[in-house]
Amino acid sequence: MTPIPRSYLFVPATRPDRFEKALASGAHAVIADLEDAVPPPEKSAARQALKNLPPGMIVRVNAVETEWFREDTAACGQCAAIVLPKTETPDHVLTAAGQCSAQTALLPLIETARGIANAVEIARCPCVQRLVFGHLDLQLDLGVSDDELLFFRSTIVLASRLAGLLPPIDGITTAIDSLDLIRADTERAIRLGFGGKLCIHPRQIPIVNECFRPRAAEIAWAEEIVEAARRSAGGPILVRGKMVDRPVITRAERILSEASRAMS
């Protein structure tokens, strides 16, 4: 099975000297950022830096409706995927797909009310690999705090499931010195059904990877359930005094699948 990336680390595209270090950080994917990390006067130089982009890296371009979008996508070459900020409509996705190689996956960043409203249609567009939740810009757009974003996070998870995508990627944790907070944010994302998380500093990576990796106790429980189901040959299943039905077996099978697909 192909491993599922869980941790996505941003690095400014203006710092190609950091590309290899980011790739060695333990992050499952590295995103060279042409958007928020690059002020307008430096965008041209940042695009030039992409000529040194190592294989397998992702690029966050500027939004479709900005003046930099077409030059950004033209500079991406054969990057593994493109993060598309401010994705609000399927047309944004189709425009980006038309500018990229057919092999380039798209990661629409949903961070506005309009994007939330169109999340299912966006998720169903060709070339979309996963949705990404941009909670900071959504907070600004809606005028709400992060504590009030539960509905919108769940909307992204639901849209991904309806479109048959991998579980979505949760947004960044801005407090790079608080390891407890990055753990709490990641564990919340997992409880809500997210399958990955954006990171802005290498020290966040080990915690994110650890949180997404099934625990030994979970794997042992899942193995016990699956083995009991195998022995039952379709009959009633009793494990440690509890009846086990199909949803529990499916959950156990999913844990074992996740364990086998876990990246180091």
Asked if 33 and 119 sit in the same domain, the reply is: yes
List alpha helices for 59-102, DSSP H. Answer: 69-75, 90-99
Residue 162, Cα to own-chain centre: how many angstroms? 17
Distance separating alpha carbons of residues 86 and 64, to the nearest angstrom: 8
What string of pLDDT tens digits covers the 264 residues of the chain?
A: 567 899 999 999 999 999 999 999 999 999 999 999 999 999 999 999 998 899 999 999 999 999 999 999 999 987 999 999 999 999 999 999 999 887 899 999 999 999 999 999 999 998 999 999 999 999 999 999 988 999 999 999 999 999 999 999 999 999 988 999 999 999 999 999 999 999 999 999 999 999 998 776 777 666 777 777 777 766 667 677 677 777 777 777 777 777 776 666
Give the pLDDT of residue 209. Answer: 95
> pTM score, two decimals?
0.88
Distance separating alpha carbons of residues 9 and 210, to the nearest angstrom: 15
Asked if 23 and 111 sit in the same domain, the reply is: yes
Distance separating alpha carbons of residues 228 and 247, to the nearest angstrom: 14
- Given a contact cutoff of 8 angstroms between Cβ atoms, the answer to whether 189 and 128 are in contact is no
Give the pLDDT of residue 234. Answer: 67
Asked if 33 and 137 sit in the same domain, the reply is: yes
Instruction: Write out the residue range of the structural domain in which residue 184 sits.
Output: 7-212
Asked if 182 and 243 sit in the same domain, the reply is: no
Helix, strand, coil distribution of the chain in percent, nearest 5 = 50, 15, 35
Give the pLDDT of residue 69. Answer: 97
Give the pLDDT of residue 261. Answer: 64
Asked if 18 and 138 sit in the same domain, the reply is: yes
Judged by DSSP in three states, 197 sits in strand
Asked if 180 and 238 sit in the same domain, the reply is: no
Q: Are strands 29-33 and 196-199 parallel, antiparallel or unpaired?
A: unpaired
The domain spanning residue 89 has which CATH number? 3.20.20.60
Give the pLDDT of residue 102. Answer: 79
- Given a contact cutoff of 8 angstroms between Cβ atoms, the answer to whether 193 and 157 are in contact is yes
What are residue 60's DSSP bridge partners? Answer: 33, 83
**Rg (the chain; Cα; Å):** 20
Give the pLDDT of residue 12. Answer: 96
Give the pLDDT of residue 77. Answer: 82
Asked if 182 and 73 sit in the same domain, the reply is: yes
Token pair in block for residue 199: 């990171």
Q: How many Cβ atoms are within 10 Å of 257's Cβ, its own excluded? A: 14
Is the residue at 2 inside a domain?
no
Nearest to 124 by CA among 87, 99, 81, 77: 87
Instruction: Count Cα neighbours of 75 within 13 Å in the Cβ-side half-sphere.
Output: 24
Distance separating alpha carbons of residues 148 and 153, to the nearest angstrom: 10
Asked if 86 and 38 sit in the same domain, the reply is: yes
Nearest to 66 by CA among 85, 41, 90, 94: 85
Question: Residues with Cβ < 8 Å from 193, sequence gap 6 or more?
Answer: 154, 157, 161, 167, 168
The structural domain count of the chain equals 2
Is the residue at 1 inside a domain?
no
Give the pLDDT of residue 33. Answer: 97
